[in-house]
């Protein structure tokens, strides 16, 4: 069975374009809120193969997306390595911050395998239950983005602590990155072994790096993960999402070797079609706020994106994750428009 999403990632133009949405499983769906209540905490949900695979499949059943994304979180990696991580209702993630070399001893690669075993079982279960034309995406956070949470101790506005440490104690940051790179390769490789057919690396906070430091803290670590995964799993495509890096995207694609890039809503799509699409498959970039608002403006924007990017290898997606306040009908309307 041909999977249009995987075809597009291999560089073949698909009409209509395959589609999935970042954060397509989540609080905007009543059936998610149901399961979430039954699970107790968010991490309990992530570590329950039965419930997490159910939640992975919910948006596929409801909307018929071309790809499902494993239900888990980028903070599973530091949690599985031994850092204290917890989610408080309405406040987002919290971590006991690690800010020096001594703190790194809390993170043990040997813990990773046993800790992520339930997540790998989620991958296997979800893959078994997917419709034949739907592909399964595994994922991890890129080292820079995961490091912002590890060091800042949660969501940050300024990223000041980590940014300062890249100048004042780069050997600590290097040490942290070595651990995160090794853990990401092992974790993603295990996801592929369990049934993931493509991988997305979320570098949500790449855009806070000065352009001159992007190579060191975003591009090089990503390239190392891509190279090691490609050696172990040559056929499995990797999608990068270096959010907010603007024209540095050209360097990112050329130097990391990703098969595809996810484009945030800030990128002009004509520029993307000209500069990026000849190098990699492009995924994006409907504004999540416009998806929440809906109406004719949303439909026009969907058509404009497909007009500009649909002539090359393309996967329709959002520029960032679905907002919890999004009416599910708007998602259905976007898919109808694409498949009309």
> Which residues here bind ligand CP3, judged by CB under 6 A?
22-27, 36, 42, 69, 71, 73-75, 92-93, 139, 155, 202, 204, 321
Tell me the closest approach of the beta carbon of residue 252 to ligand CP3, in angstroms.
Answer: 17
Closer residue to ligand CP3, CB minimum distance, 92 or 327: 92
Closer residue to ligand CP3, CB minimum distance, 36 or 163: 36
| Contact criterion met (CB below 8 Å) for 260 and 239 | yes
**178 contacts: CB under 8 Å, gap ≥ 6:** none
Closer residue to ligand CP3, CB minimum distance, 27 or 133: 27
Tell me the closest approach of the beta carbon of residue 318 to ligand CP3, in angstroms.
Answer: 10
Is 23 labeled as catalytic in the residue annotation?
yes
Closest to 315 measured CA to CA, from 290, 268, 281: 281
Catalytic residue among 28, 32, 47, 73: 73
Closest to 317 measured CA to CA, from 104, 19, 9: 19
Tell me the closest approach of the beta carbon of residue 297 to ligand CP3, in angstroms.
Answer: 23
Is 73 labeled as catalytic in the residue annotation?
yes
Dmax over Cα atoms in the chain, in whole Å?
A: 58
Only one residue has tokens 């699409």, namely: 277
Is 27 labeled as catalytic in the residue annotation?
yes
Catalytic residue among 32, 36, 203, 264: 36
Catalytic residue among 28, 47, 149, 187: 149
Closer residue to ligand CP3, CB minimum distance, 17 or 244: 244
Task: Sheet with 281-286: list strands edge to edge.
Answer: 67-69, 135-141, 198-203, 238-242, 260-263, 281-286, 314-318
Is 224 labeled as catalytic in the residue annotation?
no
Helices 143-152 & 170-194 angle (0-180, nearest 10): 120
Catalytic residue among 23, 62, 111, 133: 23
Active centre residues (catalytic): 23, 27, 36, 73, 149
């Amino acid at each position: 069975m041909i999977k249009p999403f995987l075809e597009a990632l291999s560089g073949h133009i698909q009409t209509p374009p395959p589609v999935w949405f970042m954060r397509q499983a989540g609080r905007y769906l009543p059936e998610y809120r149901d399961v979430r209540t039954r699970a107790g905490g968010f991490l309990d949900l992530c570590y329950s193969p039965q419930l997490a695979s159910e939640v992975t499949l919910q948006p596929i059943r409801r909307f018929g997306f071309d790809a499902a994304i494993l239900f888990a979180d980028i903070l599973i990696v530091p949690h599985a390595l031994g850092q204290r991580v917890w989610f408080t209702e309405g406040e987002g993630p919290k971590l006991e911050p690690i800010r020096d070399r001594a703190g790194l001893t809390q993170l043990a690669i040997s813990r990773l395998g046993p800790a992520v075993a339930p997540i790998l079982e989620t991958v296997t279960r979800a893959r078994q239950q997917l419709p034949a034309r739907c592909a399964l995406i595994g994922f991890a956070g890129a080292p820079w983005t995961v490091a912002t949470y590890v060091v800042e101790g949660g969501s940050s506005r300024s990223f000041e602590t980590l940014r300062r440490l890249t100048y004042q104690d780069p050997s600590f940051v290097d040490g942290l990155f070595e651990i995160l790179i090794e853990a990401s390769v092992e974790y993603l490789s295990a996801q592929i072994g369990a049934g993931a057919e493509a991988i997305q690396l979320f570098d949500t906070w790449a855009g806070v790096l000065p352009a001159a430091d992007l190579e060191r803290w975003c591009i090089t670590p990503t390239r190392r993960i891509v190279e090691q995964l490609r050696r172990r799993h040559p056929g499995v495509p990797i999608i990068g999402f270096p959010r907010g890096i603007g024209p540095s995207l050209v360097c990112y694609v050329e130097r990391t070797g990703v098969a595809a890039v996810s484009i945030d809503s800030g990128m002009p799509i004509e520029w993307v079609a000209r500069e990026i699409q000849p190098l990699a498959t492009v995924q994006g970039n409907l504004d999540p706020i416009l998806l929440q608002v809906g109406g004719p403006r949303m439909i026009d924007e969907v058509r404009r994106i497909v007009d500009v990017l649909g002539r090359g290898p393309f996967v329709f997606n959002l520029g960032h994750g679905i907002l919890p306040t999004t009416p599910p009908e708007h998602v259905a309307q976007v898919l109808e428009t694409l498949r009309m």
